[in-house]
Amino acid sequence: MHYLFAVPLVGGITLVILLKALPQFSRISFNLWNSAVAIITAGTLFRGIVNLSGRSTALDAPYWYVGIGFSVLAILSIFIKPFLTNQRTKVIEG
């Protein structure tokens, strides 16, 4: 709970680095990345609330799995989108 700010901070810094490195960052990649950061932040908040109440739980694990899944989808969509766009333009030109 003390480091709840770290998840959006690291997610935002990573997003800025990706935007600088890859200018063809699509809207779907942007939305998936922001959703991943939000899901992981919610999971961290849930874990902090449960820990403050003096209990332990494994119910925060799905937040991590879904958040990591969204971030993997975002990274995959960064590389798939230009490939599909180039493939589509070749068909139109040819």
> What pLDDT, on the 0 to 100 scale, is given for residue 45?
93
> What pLDDT, on the 0 to 100 scale, is given for residue 81?
66
Q: What is the pLDDT of residues 27-72, one digit of tens each?
A: 898 999 999 999 999 999 999 999 899 888 888 899 999 999 999 9
> What pLDDT, on the 0 to 100 scale, is given for residue 22?
79
* Integer Cα distance of 59 and 3 in angstroms: 19
- Residue 1 scores a pLDDT above 90: no
Torsional class of 22: left (φ above 0), alpha (ψ -120 to 50), beta (otherwise):
beta
What ranges do the domains of the chain cover?
Answer: 6-93
State the pTM of this model: 0.80
Q: What are phi and psi for residue 18, nearest 5 degrees?
A: -65, -40
> What pLDDT, on the 0 to 100 scale, is given for residue 87?
58
Q: Work out the percent of the chain whose per-residue pLDDT is above 90.
A: 49
> What pLDDT, on the 0 to 100 scale, is given for residue 59?
87
> What pLDDT, on the 0 to 100 scale, is given for residue 40?
95
